[in-house]
Structure 1
Amino acid sequence: MADHTPATLSALLKSLSLTDDTVNHAEILKHAQNILIKNPSHPEALHTKVVALLHLDKFDEVVKTLEKTPLEEAKFELAYALYKSGKWEKAEEAARDARERARGEKMERGLRHVEAQAAHRAEHFGRAMEIYKSLIESGKEFAQNEDFDLRVNRNATEAQMVWKGEAMGKRKFTVDELSQFETTYNAACIHIARNEFPQGLMLLKKAQLLCEGMDLSPEDLKEEVAPVIAQQIYALLKMGNVAEVEKASQELDIKTVSDAALKYIASNNSLSHKSKIDPNPHLTLRLYEACVLRPLFQTTVKPYQFQSRILSRNRLSLDLQVGKYGEVKSEVAKSQDLARSAYEIAASCGGRSVKEILQSVKRTKNASTERKDDIALGLYATQLHMELRDITGAIETVEGLLEELSKKEGPEDKYPPALIGLLVALYRFEGRKKAPKKLDEAAQYWKDQPRPNESLILSSTLHSLTSHSQASLESAASFLTSINQSTTFLPPQILSAGIVAACAITKPELAASHLSSLPPIDQLLKGINVDELEAAGVYNPSKKRTADEVARGAKAKKLKSAPVKAKRVRKSMLPKDYIAGKEVDKERWLPLRDRSYYKPPKGGKKDKRRNVAQGGTQGGKVEEEKDQVMADMPVAKTGGGGGGGGGGQAKKKKKKGGKW
C-alpha cells in the first residue's frame, strides 16, 4: 500500500462528512488503521478513523478510541458518539466543554445541537428548551431546514416536559406548525400529555393525513405512521372507547415495527387492553415478558423515567396477581419508586381479604411517624376504602394524609395538586357541594408560583363562583381576567361566561364588556318552541306500569311461585333416628315435660309415688300456698321407718326382731 502523507490525509478528511453516504467508509477505515499501526498518535489518521467509524455506526469503538487517545479536533465526534451510545449525561457534559473551546460559529452551533439532544434524552428538558429557543431566536441557519428541525425538537421537548409534570404555559400553535407532519404530531402529543384527548385525536388524524400525502414508499409510510396509530390507541384507551381501540389496533402490526422503543410501549398498551377483556394474569405475564421485557433489554434505546415507572409497576402488579409475593418483595427492596411501600404491603398481604389488608396498611402507617405522611400508603388505603364502598373512609384518609403533609417545611409538599384533586373528586363523588378547605389554601399558594398549577386554580375558581361572598367572587374574577389576558387556557366563550358570572354583582361594567362575546339567547334557543313547551305544562308521569315493568313483575311472580329445591344435607349431619319423609319434631329442643303433647304416665303405686315425688298430688284438694311450699322444699331420701304416707305404707308387715 502506498504511504499517505499528511497532505493527502488532510484532503481525504476534508472530503469526509457525517452526512456523506457516497464514500466507501470501510475502505477509508482500513487505510487509516494501516497508518495508525506505524504511528498510533497520527492526528489526521486518527480523525479519519473516528469519522469512518461513526459512518459505520460503531459508536462504542469511537468512544474507546478517543478515550484512549484524546484528540482536540474530534471533540464533536466524541460528544456525538457518547450520545448515540446512550451515555447522555456524559455526552451533554462533553458537548458543553467542547463548545466553550470551539473554533468557529458553525462548530459551536453543531455542539449546541448535540448538547440539546443529549440533555433531552437525559431528561434535562429545561436545559434543552433553553438551547432550542436560543438557536431559533438567533435567526441563523447553517444547514438546510435547520430552523424547521429546531422547531420540531422544541415541540418534542415541550411534550416531554408536560409528561414529566414540568408544566409550561399553554401556547397557540401557528398555522405553519399545523401544516407539517412532524410539528402536527408533536402538537397532538402535547394535548395528550395534558389529558386533552379529543383535541389530541383530532390532530393525530390530521398528522396521519399529512404523512400519507408525503412522497414516501409504502415501507417508509408504514414506519412513519406507526407512532401516530400507537398514540391514537393510547388516547382511545384513556377515553374508554373500546370499539375504536379494536379498529385502530388492526391498523398497527406491532410485530413489524422496527423502532424498539415504540415496539415495547405499544405492546404494553395492547396487553393492558386485552387483559381487561380476558383477565388471565398468568397468560398476560408470559406475553408481557416476551413482548415488552425482552425487547426492552435487547435495545440501547431506553424509555423515559415516567415510562420506566409504569412498566415496572405493571410487572409488579402482574407478579402480585399470579402470587409471586417473594419476587415482589425483593424487587421492591431494590427499587427507589415512591410506590414501593404500597407494593410491599400488597405482597405481605397476599391471599388476604380487602378488610385484612386495610387493617395491615393502617397498622403500618401508625407504626412510625415517618409512614404517616407516606403518599403511596395513603393512596393505597384510599383505594382499599373505595373497594369496600367506604367513601367517607377514603375522604378521611386523604384529609389525614394532607394534614400530615401540612406539617412539612416546604409549601410545595403541603399542597400536592394530585392529592388536592383527588380530595375534590371524592367530595363530588359523595355528593358534597361544599369544596374542601384545602382547595382554597392550595390555590392561593400555587397562584404565586412561577409555574402555577392552572387546573387546581381553575377548580378553586369554579367553586368560588357558587359562593355568595363578595371576596370569593372578586378572587374568581381576578383569576379569570388574568388568564384571559395571558394565555389561551380555556375557550374564550367559557372564560367570558365565567367573568360575567363573577362580576355581575361586584363589577357590572366589566361584565357588560364581555356580554358581547357570549352567544345570544336566540341562538341558544334555536330549534326550541318555547310556547309549545309552556302550553304542554309540567310533565306528569303516568301511574300505569310500562310494558317492561309488567314483564319484570310477571317474571318475579313466576320465580316466587316456583318450587324451591330443598338443600341437600350431608348424612353425617343428620340424627341417628332420622327417617326420610317424616316431619321433624319442632319441639325436640324442649324438655319432655315442657312439650305440648306431653302426658304424665298412668299406672300402679310406683307411678303414683313417682308422681308425688315430681310434685304431683294424691287426689285431694290442694291449696295454692301448700303447692308453693312443697315446690320449694328440697326432696330428701328417707330411711325405712317413718310417718304415715299413703294407705299402702300402713299395711306393711313389721320386720322380725323389732322393739315393739
Structure 2
Amino acid sequence: MKVGKMSVTDYQSDEKSYDCLFNDSLILIANNQLGDALKLLDLAQSVCTTQNQDLDAGDLLLELAPIKLTIAYIYQVQGRISEAKALLDEFRNNETVDHMTKLVTTNNYYALEGIPDSKSSIALRDLDYQARMHKLQQKLTKPQSNVLMKNKLLLQFHAHALSKSSKYFTKAFTSEYQKLYPGDYTFNVYKVLNQLDITISDVNDGNAEQCARKLYQHAKTDLSEPERISTTLLLVAVNNIMGRYDQCLSVLEKIWDSRTSETLIPALAGTLFGLLNELNYHQDDQRDSLSKTKAKQTSFIVALIKYFQDHGVSKCYNFAREIAFRLYQNGDEKAEDVLRVLQKEDPQDRLVAAALDGDNSKLDKVETLQSSTDINELLSTSIASMIPAPPATSTKRTFKPSISKVHKNKRKPRFSAKKEFVAAEKFNAADLDEERWLPMRLRSYYKPTKKDRKKGGQQGALEQPKDKKKKKSKK
C-alpha cells in the first residue's frame, strides 16, 4: 500500500502531542518530504521542551533524543554536515544518555566524518559493536542489526582484523542470513576476500590485475551458488578498476545461462545489464564486438521481460522499475513492456503512469523541487566555507606531578602441612608450653642428638691446645 503525500498543515490538530508529531514526521521522511518533516520535527522539539520544563537537563535531553537524532539525519542527507555534527556533539559529550542513543550517535558521527584506513582500528574500538549489540539485542530491529553487522565487518576488513574463523563466515550463519535477506551477499563477499587474502590496499595500490587473476581462478572452481555470485561481483568491481570486462563478462554469462527460468537474482541481473550498457558505449569503433554485445543485450532483456511477465514484479518491484527507466532513457521500445507490468502491479505509481501516458500533470510541480535559495547568494558564497575543516589537533601536553609510592607485596604466611588452626572455643591457655619462648637447647625436656654430643655443646668453638712444657717465668 502506497501512502499519499501530506503537508504540515495536515498535522496542526496534533500539536499538543509531540509523540504524534514525531511519528508523522517519520511518514514524511518515508515519502522523501524532508523539508516538511524538518518543520514538523522543529515543532515537536518546541512542544517537548515546553511540556517538560520541570525535568533536569539530562532527562530533557533523553526525551529530545529521538527528535534531535532524526533532525541530524535529515541534515546529513541534505549535506548540512556541520549542523548535523553540532547536534550529535550534544550526545557524544554527555554521560547521561542511554546505550541506544550512544550507539546511534557514535555510528552516525563516524558516518559523517569518514574513517581513513589509518584510523579504522581506533574507530572499531570506539564503536565496540560486539558489546553494544549484545546489550541492545532486545531493542534493535533486524534492519538495524543488519547495518551494524555490516559496519563491523567493513571496519574489520579495513583494519586487517577480520578472522577467517569468524562466525559470520560459517555455513549455518550465511544460509540463515540468505533466508532473512535473500539476494544480499555481503557476508559471502567478505568471506571470499578473506579466503583469498585480498586486502583493500591490494586493490588501491595497483595490484588489481593480481586480484582479478585470483578471483577468476576461484570463480572457476566448484563453489556454492552464493560464493560463486559473490566472487563474480567482486571480479566485476576489480575489472572495472582495470577497464577490462572480458573475465567478469564470461563468468556472468555462464551463471545467467545456467539459472532456471523460475529464479532471478537482482544483484546478478542488474550487474549484467549495467555491464552490457557500459560495453555499448565503449565499443563504437569495433563493429564486430559492438554487434555481438548488442545481440547479447537484446537476448538478456527479452529473457528479463519474459520473467517479469510470467512471475510478476511483486518481489523485485524497485529493480524492475530501475530497468524500465534505464530502457526508457535509452529510447528502447521494450521499456513499454516492463512499464505495463509495473502499472499492473501498482496503478498508483505516478511516474510509471506519466511515462506510459505521456502526461506529466499528475507529477509534483517544479516549484516544489526547486530550492528557495537565490542564485546570487549561492554564487557569492565562498567555496572554502562550504568545505568542512579537519579538526585541529592540540599539541599542548599537560604534565601531572609524579607521586612516588613504594608498593610492598603482601605475602601470605607460610604454614607447614602439619600445622592446624585451632578454633577459638577449643583454645586453652593451660595447654601451652611454658618454656616455648626459650631456645630448644635450654628447655628441660631437650635431648641432644649424637651429633650435638660430639660438638660438646660449644656451638662449633674449638678448644685451645694445652702447652706440654710451660716456660719458666723469669724473675
Q: CA deviation at 1:301?
A: 3.1
- Aligned counterpart, 2:174: 332
Q: Structure 1's 182 and 435: CA in aligned 2 closer, same or farther, altered over 3 A?
A: farther
Which one of the candidate residues 439, 451, 459 is aligned to 2:339?
A: 439
Which one of the candidate residues 6, 29, 32 is aligned to 1:195?
A: 32
Per the normalisation by structure 2, the TM-score is 0.51
- Is the CA contact (8 Å cut-off) linking 1:254 and 1:267 kept in structure 2? no
Structure with higher Rg: it is 1
Mapped pair 1:272 → 2:111: yes
- Aligned counterpart, 2:354: 462
Equivalent position amino acid for 2:354 in 1: L
- Aligned counterpart, 2:98: 259
* In 2: Cα distance, 1:319 partner to 1:371 partner: 37
* In 2: Cα distance, 1:348 partner to 1:371 partner: 27
- Cα RMSD of the aligned pairs, angstroms, is 4.4
Q: CA deviation at 1:357?
A: 5.5
Q: CA deviation at 1:307?
A: 2.2
Q: Structure 1's 379 and 259: CA in aligned 2 closer, same or farther, altered over 3 A?
A: farther
Sequence identity of aligned pairs in percent?
A: 16
Deviations 1:45-85 (A, max 9, x none): xxxxxxxxxxxxxxxxxxxxxxxxxxxxxxxxxxxxxxxxx
Deviations 1:523-562 (A, max 9, x none): xxxxxxxxxxxxxxxxxxxxxxxxxxxxxxxxxxxxxxxx
- Is the CA contact (8 Å cut-off) linking 1:264 and 1:293 kept in structure 2? no
Per the normalisation by structure 1, the TM-score is 0.38
Deviations 1:419-450 (A, max 9, x none): 1332355457x665989221233113312xxx
- Aligned counterpart, 2:259: 368
Mapped pair 1:286 → 2:124: yes
Q: CA deviation at 1:282?
A: 3.3
Equivalent position amino acid for 1:436 in 2: A
Q: Structure 1's 316 and 226: CA in aligned 2 closer, same or farther, altered over 3 A?
A: same
* In 2: Cα distance, 1:391 partner to 1:188 partner: 46
Q: Which has the higher contact order (CA 8 A, sep 6+)?
A: 2
- Is the CA contact (8 Å cut-off) linking 1:338 and 1:376 kept in structure 2? no
Equivalent position amino acid for 1:240 in 2: G
Q: Structure 1's 340 and 441: CA in aligned 2 closer, same or farther, altered over 3 A?
A: closer
Equivalent position amino acid for 1:423 in 2: I
Q: CA deviation at 1:396?
A: 5.4
What 5-or-longer segments of structure 1 have no aligned partner?
Answer: 1-165, 448-453, 467-472, 481-488, 495-660
Equivalent residues in 2 for 1:295-374, closer than 5 Å? 295-321=132-158, 324=162, 326=164, 327=166, 329-330=169-170, 331-336=173-178, 337-341=181-185, 343-345=187-189, 347-348=191-192, 350=198, 351-352=211-212, 353-354=238-239, 355=245, 360-369=251-260, 373-374=264-265
Equivalent position amino acid for 2:265 in 1: D
Equivalent residues in 2 for 1:376-415, closer than 5 Å? 376-379=267-270, 399=301, 402-403=304-305, 405-406=307-308, 408-409=310-311, 412-413=314-315
Equivalent position amino acid for 2:113 in 1: K
Equivalent residues in 2 for 1:466-545, closer than 5 Å? 466=358, 480=362
- Is the CA contact (8 Å cut-off) linking 1:204 and 1:228 kept in structure 2? yes
Aligned-partner SS, 1:307: helix
* In 2: Cα distance, 1:379 partner to 1:281 partner: 34
- Is the CA contact (8 Å cut-off) linking 1:185 and 1:228 kept in structure 2? yes
- Is the CA contact (8 Å cut-off) linking 1:271 and 1:288 kept in structure 2? no
* In 2: Cα distance, 1:440 partner to 1:386 partner: 23
Q: CA deviation at 1:247?
A: 3.1
Equivalent position amino acid for 1:369 in 2: T
Which structure carries more helix by proportion?
A: 1
Aligned-partner SS, 2:28: helix
Equivalent position amino acid for 2:355 in 1: H
- Aligned counterpart, 1:518: none
- Is the CA contact (8 Å cut-off) linking 2:85 and 2:112 kept in structure 1? no
* In 1: Cα distance, 2:107 partner to 2:277 partner: 27
- Is the CA contact (8 Å cut-off) linking 1:233 and 1:245 kept in structure 2? yes
Q: CA deviation at 1:204?
A: 1.5
Count of residue pairs brought into register by the alignment: 298
Q: Structure 1's 213 and 361: CA in aligned 2 closer, same or farther, altered over 3 A?
A: farther
- Is the CA contact (8 Å cut-off) linking 1:341 and 1:377 kept in structure 2? no
Aligned-partner SS, 1:338: coil
* In 1: Cα distance, 2:265 partner to 2:311 partner: 16
Q: CA deviation at 1:458?
A: 0.8
Q: Structure 1's 201 and 316: CA in aligned 2 closer, same or farther, altered over 3 A?
A: same
Mapped pair 1:185 → 2:77: no
Q: Structure 1's 403 and 410: CA in aligned 2 closer, same or farther, altered over 3 A?
A: closer
Which one of the candidate residues 13, 34, 42 is aligned to 1:205?
A: 42
* In 1: Cα distance, 2:308 partner to 2:28 partner: 32
- Is the CA contact (8 Å cut-off) linking 2:92 and 2:106 kept in structure 1? no
Aligned-partner SS, 2:12: coil
* In 1: Cα distance, 2:45 partner to 2:23 partner: 12
* In 2: Cα distance, 1:314 partner to 1:211 partner: 33
* In 2: Cα distance, 1:274 partner to 1:387 partner: 33
- Is the CA contact (8 Å cut-off) linking 1:178 and 1:184 kept in structure 2? yes
- Is the CA contact (8 Å cut-off) linking 1:229 and 1:252 kept in structure 2? no
Q: More displaced, 259-268 or 194-203?
A: 259-268
Equivalent position amino acid for 2:141 in 1: Y
